[in-house]
Amino acid sequence: MLFQFLDYLGVAVFAVSGAILASRKGLDFIAFLFFASLTGIGGGTLRDLLLGVPVFWTKSDGYLLVCLGVSVVMWFGAAQVERFGKPLRWADAVGLAAYSVIGAAKALAVGDTVLVAILMGVSTATFGGILRDTIAGEPSAIAKPEIYVGAAFFGAGLFVGLEYLGIGIWPAALIGFAGALILRGGAIERSWTLPCYGAGSAR
């Protein structure tokens, strides 16, 4: 139940971020639906293709209906959502945190190794946002110095590590989610960064 919730949460909030970007560009409703769906299901699609399992949204209409519902709500409510501080970045952050855990959990469930599970968590958490920004011609967060991929890596690694230690899948999932969200939230609000190549040295 928890993983189902995180799965739908990840799709929904990523879809919100895609729809916000469509609203900022003044696009039509079909473009809203395209960006919401692309961002919402992109990371999970890559994960399932790499794992060699059925792509999750082809087995249930619920995920596509979530993207459609988000598109409708954002078509009428994007201006209100924009009144909150940094809505696109925070929606992306929640999606990243949820999918870092979901991606890792699915890899473990099909019998992959710890390292593969962490990589699947990172890929699931970041790929949808990268697709959204690339197709829209926007600078991607992955190319900025603030923590982005590192937050997904931390969340996935924390979940996998705690699960390996046997603390229980639910606590591990919640802690992994919280860890990724806190790290990404600090990057958004406090400009947290990791040491960057060549920082402080002459080039």
Is residue 154 a contact partner of residue 183, using CB atoms and an 8 Å limit? yes
User: Is residue 108 within a helix (H) or strand (E), and if so which, with residue range?
Assistant: helix 87-109
E strand or H helix at 100, and its extent?
helix 87-109
Helix (H, G, I), strand (E, B) or coil at 161: helix
Q: How far is CA 42 from CA 98, 114, 150, 164, 180, in A?
A: 14, 23, 19, 28, 19
| pLDDT tens per residue, range 48-104 | 999 999 999 999 999 999 999 999 999 999 999 999 889 999 999 999 999 999 999
* Residues 13-52: tens digit of each pLDDT: 999 999 999 999 999 999 999 999 999 999 999 999 999 9
Q: How many CB atoms lie within 10 A of CB 142?
A: 14
Domain boundaries, the chain: 2-190
Secondary structure of the chain: what % helix, strand, coil (to 5)? 75, 0, 20
